[in-house]
Structure 1
Amino acid sequence: MELDDAYANGPYIQGAEGYPPRWTVQAAAFREELANTGHARLDRPYGATPRQAFDLFLPKGPPAGLCVFVHGGYWLKFDRSYWSHLAAGPLAHGWAVAMPSYDLCPAVQIADITRQIARSTEMAADEIPGPIILAGHSAGGHLAARLCVQGVLADATAKRLKRAVPISPVSDLRPLLRTSMNDQFRLDMSSAEAESPVLMRPMDHVDVTVWVGADERPVFLDQARWLAEAWGCGHHVAQGRHHFDVIDALTDPASPMVAALTG
């Protein structure tokens, strides 16, 4: 369809096919290391289906609070097992890190996934006291942004939310109506508008910084800019980064991304 190529990332990233296998190896090694030291609570259910579960990684001392990372994949693929190593940066600053999986389209719709991520965040927050910070990548950036809007999280959890970094977010779902992926999303204009953070406002007490790689597809640069402009929030364009490696900064405790997230 009209916008299929515009929203295709892999064909424009050299060696794109090699990224998922590397992610899985890095993530598995990270999980094993933390499980061996007693700093991982794995496969915590938050809903009725097998994919409704999260992993929780714990710092060495009392947690500074809870960080939630939401993975991407166009609401169509991947799960939390690919991304465990991205917890390294926030963990080094003392934050516990929850990584949820969620059911995928077309078995569910995007609005259902938003509700699942809200529920997983609330359940992780029951285990970890203190402030809450959010990060999410691509479709996960959309989901992280949605949690910043009043009425998505339960009030008690929403009041604890301090910062969010949507990374390469899909902030306006309306263009997806002109992609073949919508055969699986099953969006119409009304449901696309209802799930588009760019048409909403974040809660006043949440500090948001939108992050995107300078070498990403033009539509992702647009999507990030649209959200930053609509929300009047921070907007960082990471030089030399594309859609698949922009998230690597989460593994580095000294990175500007981790600084923006952890404060």
Structure 2
Amino acid sequence: MDWAAASQAARDLAYNNNEAVIDAPALIAERLAASALMPPPLAAQPYGPSEREQWDLWPEPGAPMLVFIHGGYWQRNRREDFWCMAQGAREMGWGFGLCGYTLAPDATLAGIVAQIHAALDALPPSGPVVLSGWSAGGHLAAMAAAHARVAAALPISGIFELGPIRDTYLNAKLALGDGELETLSPQRLPVVNKPMAVAYGSAELPELCRQSRHFHGLRAAAHAPGPLTPVAGANHFTILDALRRPGGSLLRAAADLLA
């Protein structure tokens, strides 16, 4: 895609996953229904003053913990909408944690990134932490990968360069400027030399595929460990099954990061 020559409508569509996936409403409804049927977390721990600044935790003493940050382009969704993502990790014998955060425009993107770091500061003791996140959560996982609590990272369908986001409908609530592009785009920051699998679905929007491939390419050029992990046939919503499902390919990727 020639971004400079693209119309505003084309730029907006390039990052509109709900428009790109015909059955997105049904896929979202299934995830919400599955999450509503999940047993509630074993522990809920605030890490900040607002209702959204909270951990939902399914601890497993001494075992690794998979931490998941939800997506929604930093401006929608809740922790509870993703409780079903605990299924695979729990079946594998791992702990699982869901990290909430304040949404834009009530928080700036810099403020959201700071909340994720504060959440990791407050995370109760566990085995090694694999920090994952989907879509906007993939961006936040990459931004927090350097945190001392994080042993490895697994961003899924992430945003690693914010420049195109500023040029789309998404910026109405994010209000990104030049400064944010420099300080909050993971691919513009020093490479984090920890194991990181960069995952995306082969049936995702081309811009999302490009973002993951380019970010992994920068990491590989810096000799940072971790694979590029395409999930064959997965779109922006079905890719979550590879982490949620017991034995899913992204669960295996998470375990491999600690091997």
Q: TM-score, normalised by structure 2?
A: 0.89
Q: Do residues 94 (structure 1) and 93 (structure 2) align? A: yes
| Amino acid paired to 1:148 | A
Partner of 1:31: helix, strand, or coil? Answer: coil
For residue 196 of structure 1, report the CA deviation from its aligned partner. 0.5
For residue 10 of structure 1, report the CA deviation from its aligned partner. 1.0
> What residue is the counterpart of 1:167 in the other structure?
156
For residue 256 of structure 1, report the CA deviation from its aligned partner. 2.1
Q: Which runs of 5+ in 2 are unaligned?
A: 1-7, 221-225
Determine if contact 2:28/2:237 at 8 Å carries over to the other structure.
Answer: no
For residue 180 of structure 1, report the CA deviation from its aligned partner. 1.9
For residue 11 of structure 1, report the CA deviation from its aligned partner. 1.3
Separation in 2, partners of 1:118, 1:66? 16
> What residue is the counterpart of 1:49 in the other structure?
50
Determine if contact 2:102/2:112 at 8 Å carries over to the other structure.
Answer: yes
> What residue is the counterpart of 1:147 in the other structure?
144
The residue correspondences of 1:18-167 to structure 2 (distance < 5 A) are 18-32=26-40, 40-42=42-44, 44-59=45-60, 62-124=61-123, 127-149=124-146, 153=147, 158=148, 160-167=149-156
Separation in 1, partners of 2:36, 2:62? 23
> What residue is the counterpart of 2:209 in the other structure?
221
For residue 231 of structure 1, report the CA deviation from its aligned partner. 1.2
Separation in 1, partners of 2:79, 2:65? 17
Partner of 1:208: helix, strand, or coil? Answer: coil
For residue 63 of structure 1, report the CA deviation from its aligned partner. 3.5
Separation in 2, partners of 1:203, 1:227? 12
Determine if contact 1:20/1:82 at 8 Å carries over to the other structure.
Answer: no
Determine if contact 2:64/2:94 at 8 Å carries over to the other structure.
Answer: yes
Q: Do residues 184 (structure 1) and 177 (structure 2) align? A: no
Q: What CA RMSD, in Å, does the superposition of the two structures yield over aligned residues? A: 1.5
Partner of 2:197: helix, strand, or coil? Answer: strand
For residue 84 of structure 1, report the CA deviation from its aligned partner. 0.9
For residue 9 of structure 1, report the CA deviation from its aligned partner. 0.8
Determine if contact 2:241/2:248 at 8 Å carries over to the other structure.
Answer: no
Separation in 1, partners of 2:144, 2:214? 18
State the identity %: 30
Partner of 2:38: helix, strand, or coil? Answer: helix
Q: TM-score, normalised by structure 1?
A: 0.87
- Please give the per-residue CA displacement for 1:52-80, whole angstroms capped at 9, x wherever unaligned: 11200134xx3413221000000010011
Q: Do residues 258 (structure 1) and 258 (structure 2) align? A: no
Separation in 2, partners of 1:121, 1:20? 27
| Amino acid paired to 2:163 | R
For residue 100 of structure 1, report the CA deviation from its aligned partner. 1.3
| Amino acid paired to 1:252 | R
Determine if contact 1:66/1:128 at 8 Å carries over to the other structure.
Answer: no
Determine if contact 2:243/2:249 at 8 Å carries over to the other structure.
Answer: no
Determine if contact 2:197/2:229 at 8 Å carries over to the other structure.
Answer: yes
Q: What count of residue pairs does the alignment treat as equivalent? A: 243
| Amino acid paired to 2:120 | T
Structure 1 consecutive aligned stretches of length 4 or more whose deviation exceeds 3 Å:
none
Which piece of structure 1 moves more, 248-257 or 180-189?
Answer: 248-257
For residue 41 of structure 1, report the CA deviation from its aligned partner. 1.1
Q: Which runs of 5+ in 1 are unaligned?
A: none
Separation in 2, partners of 1:168, 1:9? 11
